[in-house]
A and B are shown apart, each in its own frame.
Chain A
């Protein structure tokens, strides 16, 4: 197996479903940074068979709501002096603001551009969200 050195101070985003790592890498803008980063794709995983991992040799601000929406199975390890200081298990957020937009052409958010886009989680197992304004239900994978 490919070996990447452990990091001293930074963040490890682990248990990313295989294939989604590149989306998260791009979302976090890691292709443009000047510190060490690693994107490991298709690593072996007991839980997922295959997984992606991102290692970041820096402490950066991450919006866990967005990360949870992209993949609720992710775990995030905060590393300090080569020790895991905190382990964060992500899940689908109960409320999402201004991350996804309603696609219903009859929804008021399609014409009133100043409005905050708000969605509420209605079905955790199916990953379904409801628009606050028009009540349209979406699977998160469709948004």
Chain B
């Protein structure tokens, strides 16, 4: 039963519950008109303590396409947060007006605190470099829809694996499926955090290897998940400039990949995927964005308990 629940961590839902969401997303994709009034009279609140046009638009589009409405702020300067209001007080107040809330926050664990004080379902839309569970749902639905399965896959993660929360969340989620192999491609400075290595990969006995160049491992991959090196995650600009261009996917590297490998990216990209790749049928990152909206529609319906 997902009605009234929160989604803070990708592991909050069981595999069965995830399948419920994905099955509903499949129904929405097949027949979106059928759901266009499902959330009529319902309000979604978007609490964005740091800017993220893409994720916010995806949630807003999802709610509007379900016939619901949206209130919220897109940066804290224009809200009571600027006056020093706590996360707990903000969510309690918002719960008086809205039926469901989405929170993005630069600090890790903020949506978890919101969920502890909230009367309405809270969805984590990204907390610092920590978790981004709806991106994970997006990624899983995309893989399930295009590859037809969520098990027996070799997935390469490339780029900023240290601060890239989409990577952390997806690795956590994939660790529950059968026969998953993971290839981690990153510079030494941006390797996967210790807690993912210990508590997820080693604890679950996941087969994983580390590499420093895409071309060394691309031929083994079913999926290549690219990430951008985010400037805002660095304390030091020199480090950012030194590392940002290192891991770029181009046509030459793609020529070595399997014919049915797919390339995913949480977007926005900066320059880590050459534009020449966009016309390759294996480039699925824009399809992925669309799956993201559909899976958020399904999630909103499930958490609100709308039939």
Contacts and interface: CB of A to CB of B under 8 A. Distances in A.
A135 B130 contact: yes
B195 A108 contact: no
Contact of A133 (B88, B109, B195, B198): B109
A64 B55 CA distance: 46
Interface stretch (A50-58, A71-79, A109-117): A109-117
Interface in B98-119: 105-110, 112-113
Interface string B271-295: 0000000000000000000000000
Contact of A112 (B86, B198, B199): B86
B195 A106 contact: no
Given A112-B113, A132-B112, A134-B128, A107 B194 contact: no
B107 A111 contact: yes
28 contacts: A106-B106, A106-B128, A106-B129, A106-B130, A107-B109, A108-B105, A108-B109, A108-B112, A108-B113, A108-B127, A110-B107, A112-B86, A112-B107, A112-B113, A114-B88, A115-B113, A122-B198, A122-B199, A123-B198, A130-B195, A130-B199, A131-B109, A134-B108, A135-B195, A135-B199, A137-B194, A137-B195, A137-B198
B108 A112 contact: no
A134 B130 contact: yes
A108 B111 CA distance: 9
B153 interface: no
A104 interface: yes
A135 B194 CA distance: 10
Interface residues of B, number: 19
A133 B130 CA distance: 10
A87 B128 CA distance: 46
A20 to B, nearest CB: 27
A107 B199 contact: no
Of residues A108, A115, A123, A130, which shows the largest number of chain B Cβ atoms within 10 Å of its Cβ? A108
B250 to A, nearest CB: 33
A136 interface: yes
Given A108-B87, A108-B113, A114-B86, A133 B194 contact: no
A61 B130 CA distance: 39
A118 B127 CA distance: 18
Interface string B125-161: 0011110000000000000000000000000000000
Contacts of A132: 109, 112
Interface in A75-123: 104, 106-112, 114-115, 122-123
